[in-house]
Amino acid sequence: MISTKNVSKFYGSTQVLKDISFEIVQGEIVGFLGPNGAGKTTLMRILTTYLQPTSGKVIIADCDISQNSFAARQNLGYLPENLPLYLDMTVKDYLKFAGKLKNIPYRPLTTRIDQVLEECALHDVKNMPIANLSKGYKQRVGIAQAIIHNPKVLILDEPTNGLDPQQILQVRKLIKGLEHKRTVILSTHILSEIEQIAQRVLIINKGKIVADDSLNNLLKGSQNLEDIFLNLTNDNPVNIA
């Protein structure tokens, strides 16, 4: 469903991604873990075609993004780290606009908006301007725009960032509910979140993949995810008893 081959990215002369290769099959939920500045957001931006890789190949839903970027984008839902919301629009108008851009025909769009409002629990606020919503609602509007066209692949950059515990639970439940239907990649630096949602973990440090394994395998040793993470991303490995 998603595959990358030797993806590298330079900003000027600084290399932020080094030879990233991985494959993700349909229905998997994969967590990207990494310290701040590890290159998670850059990698997600490349996967979503927002940025071009300096070298390497990315295939999303059988489409090479450098050759068939449109088809790839049609199969892709993306929630960037900074919520891409037009604050002066109402929730419904915004979703309608998002649906039109994602080529949903007019009639199905009306029913689809209702479904998404239901799925993301946004019915109460559908006629409110987005500017007046709380952070948790805004986050769910962001997720709603990402899933409105039923994409095969969903990429979520720090979907629970800045939410209160109650809202984090709601958003996690929402993401968990998307399982099986879609391939999901999410990035976070909250380790417990990965343990609760993801089946597989990719740990990125300084632009390189330092671990790629199923959660069960990673946790097989007596270590917990926090120790593994600290060990892999620290230049001076801590001694784990």
Partner 1 sequence: MKNTLSIALKELSGYFKSPKAYIVLMIAISVFNVFFFMIIEQNREASLRDIFKLMEFIFVFIIPILTMEIFAEEKRSGTIEFLLTSPVSSAAIVLGKYLGSLGFVSILIAITAVYYGILEYFGSPDRLAILTGYIGIYLEGAFFVAIGILTSSWTKNQIIAAITSYMIIFSLYFSITFVRQLEEGGAAVEIIKYLSVWNHSERFFTGLLDISSLVYFFTGIGLCLFLTRINIENRS
Does position 140 bind partner 1 by CB under 8 A? no
Q: Is 33 in contact with 200 (CB distance < 8 Å)?
A: no
Which one among 67, 82, 192, 217 touches partner 1, defined by CB under 8 A?
82
Does position 16 bind partner 1 by CB under 8 A? no
User: What is the closest distance, in whole angstroms, from the C-beta atom of residue 184 to partner 1 in the complex?
Assistant: 16
Binding to partner 1 by CB under 8 A, coded x per residue (else -) over 188-207, reads: --------------------
Which one among 6, 67, 86, 164 touches partner 1, defined by CB under 8 A?
86
Phi, psi of 38, deg, nearest 5:
-80, -20
User: What is the closest distance, in whole angstroms, from the C-beta atom of residue 95 to partner 1 in the complex?
Assistant: 12
Cα distance from N-terminal residue to C-terminal residue, the chain: 39
The helix or strand, by DSSP H or E, that contains position 67, with its residue range, turns out to be: none
In the chain, DSSP assigns E strands to 2-11, 14-24, 29-33, 55-60, 63-64, 76-79, 153-157, 183-188, 200-205, 208-214
Does position 55 bind partner 1 by CB under 8 A? no
**Helix pair angle (135-147, 91-101), 10° resolution:** 30
User: What is the closest distance, in whole angstroms, from the C-beta atom of residue 181 to partner 1 in the complex?
Assistant: 20
Residue nearer to partner 1 on the CB measure, 41 or 160: 41
Stretch of 78-86, 108-116, 132-140, 160-168 contacting partner 1, by CB under 8 A: 78-86
Sheet with 200-205, strands from edge to edge, namely 76-79, 153-157, 183-188, 29-33, 200-205, 208-214
Which one among 78, 143, 159, 207 touches partner 1, defined by CB under 8 A?
78
User: What is the closest distance, in whole angstroms, from the C-beta atom of residue 195 to partner 1 in the complex?
Assistant: 28
Q: How far apart are CA 82 and CA 105, in angstroms?
A: 28
Catalog residues that contact partner 1 under the rule CB under 8 A: 11, 45, 48-52, 70-71, 73-74, 76, 78, 80-89, 97-98, 100-103, 145
